[in-house]
């Protein structure tokens, strides 16, 4: 077996040519490995079985195969060093894999870019290739990323982890220099307003629209209003203000969106048949309903008032990026924001009545997303993926406004890109017990039993 030290010594000084690396149709050399490729594991006793397989391939005969080798501690696989890397330059990595008997592909099948300096030290932190899509029997994984400071080469790493009965085949592997995507600037506005004694949904909505006109000037890409804009200040019940979507309120929000050429998001109450939902709507720049999200986590007060919970976390592809919606009590639970981030949300818009500010900050940090809140008893702000407040509207009748860059990378000095790492390292296969169950049986500690 070739060790990691062999891989590193193959990494030389980068040349000036624009990098294009592509390889398939793998053929084993005299030592069983294709030219330029090596095998790695942390310890000999955790080494997988690796081989070139001429029978399983995607386009041309010959793929890089890794077997768990009936070893639960197995971790490792193939590596190849690619030179001609330039620090600060953007690259696109693409590879395809086919997996058999892998219990949890999200973390057990790993492609990684390990950047190296001209002296073969580590440059920055490795990038985990987390974007994936199924293409028949094969899964495409890819990542656009920027070579860190002092990078002169990169080790392409294709691994299988802790899957004793599994086999994974890798094929059609490429790394290409791409144009710097540049900044992707998005201007966001979030409104702080709490109408009082309006007596009607129409009047409360009118006050929100009036406040937008007074506080949000210039080009804006998305405007966020709070939760329940049709009930706040009216003195009415959820049932009394509930309406269809599309309906009268989305029509008025659509007028605002068209006038401002901006997306608009707000919380209203939706009626569908016998059900009433606490819903957040997203209106596009043309005034159409782009989509809606029905609040999944309802506090008991809303359940007792007759609301029905939602059952999905949709995301919406806008012309500036991917947006997700959360509502109020959702912030007390980790899974709504995590699901939205997993689906590609870059910005989470959160209409909110009141909620835990620390948990809201955690949702932004743990998922590395922008979090925008518009609230009554919760602050109105725009927060970046590091949990830093970019803008806060502290007074009623004010707007928090900030221009953010969705292409900016938020890197931890020691851990690297935690957005990508969490996507690959999150262990959803480790099942937690059902809440309230102890050793598989319902807890009997209640009521003296």
Q: What is the CATH number for 275?
A: 3.60.110.10
pLDDT in tens, 418-445: 999 999 999 989 988 888 877 655 555 5
Residue 431 located in a structural domain: no
- Measured between alpha carbons, how far is 109 from 157 in angstroms, rounded to an integer? 11
Distance CA 257, CA 212 (A): 11
- 306: which strand partners? none
> Both 371 and 295 in a single domain?
yes
Confidence band, pLDDT 50/70/90 cuts, at residue 447 = low
Q: Is the peptide bond before 277 cis (omega within 30 degrees of 0)?
A: no
Considering the domain boundaries, does residue 436 fall inside one?
Answer: no
Burial class (CB in 10 A: 0-12, 13-18, 19+), 22: exposed
Residues 102 and 197 in one domain: no
**What three-state secondary structure class fits 38?**
strand
pLDDT tens track for 172-193: 999 999 999 999 999 999 999 9
pLDDT in tens, 272-300: 999 999 999 999 999 999 999 999 999 99
Are both 259 and 329 inside the same structural domain?
Answer: yes
Domain match, 166 and 263 both = no
- Asked whether residue 216 is assigned to any structural domain, the reply reads yes
Task: Using a pLDDT cut of 90, give the percent of the chain over it.
Answer: 91
Which structural domain range is residue 126 located in?
4-178
Name which of 18, 169, 160 is nearest 84 in CA terms: 18
Selection from 235, 234, 231, 214 nearest residue 223 by Cα: 214
pLDDT value at 260 more than 70 = yes
Backbone angles phi, psi at 403, to 5 degrees: -105, 120
Alpha helices in 280-333 (DSSP H): 300-304
| Residue 443, token pair as written in the block | 């807890």
Check whether residue 274 and residue 157 sit in a common domain.
no
Nearest to 250 by CA among 231, 237, 269, 233: 269
Domain boundary among 124, 152, 178: 178
Q: In Å, how far are 23, 40, 160, 279 from 49, measured between CA atoms?
A: 21, 11, 10, 52
**CA 427/CA 415 separation, integer angstroms:** 18
Residue 223 tokens read as 């405007």
Residue 8: pLDDT band by 50, 70, 90 thresholds? very low
Provide the number of structural domains found in the chain: 2
The CATH number covering residue 147 comes to 2.60.120.260
Pairwise CA distance, residues 28 & 202, whole Å: 73
Say if CB 318 and CB 285 are below 8 A apart. no
Beta-bridge partner residues of 353: none
139 and 116 in a common domain: yes
Q: 398 pLDDT exceeds 90?
A: yes
Do 168 and 202 lie in a common domain? no
Task: Report the relative pairing of strands 322-325 and 347-352 from DSSP bridges.
Answer: parallel
Is 377 within the bounds of a domain?
yes
**336 and 294 housed in the same domain:** yes
Please indicate, yes or no, if residue 116 is contained in any of the structural domains: yes
The answer to whether residues 361 and 234 belong to one domain is yes
Q: Are strands 370-375 and 347-352 parallel, antiparallel or unpaired?
A: parallel
Calculated CA dihedral for residues 33, 1, 68, 160, nearest 10 degrees: -70
Instruction: Tell me what the mean pLDDT of segment 131-139 comes to.
Output: 97
Domain boundary among 162, 178, 194: 178
Q: What burial class does residue 236 get, using C-beta atoms within 10 Å of its C-beta: 0-12 exposed, 13-18 middle, 19+ buried?
A: middle
**Do 161 and 226 lie in a common domain?**
no
Q: Is the whole-model pTM more than 0.85?
A: yes
- The SS3 of residue 388 is coil
Give domain status of residue 190, yes or no: yes
> Would 278 be classed as within a structural domain?
yes
Instruction: Report DSSP letters for 191-211, one per residue.
Output: EE----S--SHHHHHHHHHHH
Q: State whether 218 and 286 are in the same domain.
A: yes
pLDDT tens-digit map of 306-331: 999 999 999 999 999 999 999 999 99
CB 275 within 8 A of CB 248: no
Q: Is residue 1 predicted with pLDDT exceeding 50?
A: no
Asked whether residue 247 is domain-assigned, the answer is yes
Specify whether the CB–CB gap between 371 and 363 falls below 8 A: yes
Residue 258 shares a structural domain with residue 124? no
For residue 10, the model assigns a pLDDT of 45
Q: Tokens 């009216």 map to which residue?
A: 234
* Domain-ending residue, one of 146, 178, 210: 178
Element (H, E) at 241: helix 238-241
């Amino acid at each position: 077996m070739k060790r990691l030290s062999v891989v590193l010594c193959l990494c030389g000084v980068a040349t000036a040519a624009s990098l294009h690396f592509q390889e398939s149709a793998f053929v084993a050399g005299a030592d069983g490995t294709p030219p330029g490729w090596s095998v790695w594991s942390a310890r000999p006793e955790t080494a997988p079985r690796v081989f070139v397989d001429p029978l399983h391939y995607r386009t041309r005969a010959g793929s890089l195969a890794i077997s768990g080798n009936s070893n639960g501690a197995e971790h490792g696989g193939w590596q190849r060093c690619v030179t001609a890397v330039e620090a600060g330059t953007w690259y696109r990595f693409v590879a395809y894999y086919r997996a058999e008997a892998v219990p949890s592909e999200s973390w057990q099948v790993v492609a990684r870019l390990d950047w190296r300096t001209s002296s073969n030290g580590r440059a920055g932190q490795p990038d985990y290739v987390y974007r994936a899509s199924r293409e028949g029997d094969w899964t495409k994984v890819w990542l656009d990323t920027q070579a860190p400071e002092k990078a002169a080469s990169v080790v392409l790493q294709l691994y299988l982890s802790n899957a004793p009965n599994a086999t994974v085949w890798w094929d059609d592997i490429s790394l290409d220099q791409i144009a710097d995507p540049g900044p992707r600037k998005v201007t966001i506005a979030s409104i702080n307003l709490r109408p009082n004694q309006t007596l009607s949904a129409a009047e409360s909505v009118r006050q929100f629209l009036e406040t937008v006109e007074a506080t949000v000037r210039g080009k804006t890409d998305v405007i966020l209003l709070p939760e329940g804009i049709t009930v706040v200040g009216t003195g009415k019940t959820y049932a009394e203000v509930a309406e269809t979507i599309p309906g009268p309120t989305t029509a008025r929000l659509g007028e605002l969106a068209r006038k401002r050429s901006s997306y608009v998001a707000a919380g209203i109450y939706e009626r569908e048949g016998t059900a009433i939902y606490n819903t957040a709507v997203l209106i596009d720049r043309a005034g159409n309903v782009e989509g809606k999200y029905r609040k999944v986590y309802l506090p008991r007060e809303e359940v007792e008032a007759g609301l029905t919970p939602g059952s999905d976390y949709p995301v919406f592809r806008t012309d500036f990026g991917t947006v997700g919606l959360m509502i109020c009590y959702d912030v007390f639970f980790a899974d709504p924001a995590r699901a939205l981030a997993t689906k590609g949300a870059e910005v989470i818009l959160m209409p909110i009545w009141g909620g835990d500010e620390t948990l809201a900050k955690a949702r932004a940090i743990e998922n590395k997303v922008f979090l925008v809140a518009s609230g009554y008893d919760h602050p109105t702000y725009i927060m970046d993926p590091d949990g830093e407040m970019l803008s806060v509207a502290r007074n009623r009748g004010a707007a928090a406004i900030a221009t953010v860059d969705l292409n900016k990378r938020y890197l931890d000095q020691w851990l690297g890109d935690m957005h990508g790492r969490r996507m690959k390292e999150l262990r959803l296969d480790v099942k937690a017990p059902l809440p309230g169950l102890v050793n598989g049986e319902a807890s009997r500690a209640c009521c003296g039993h």
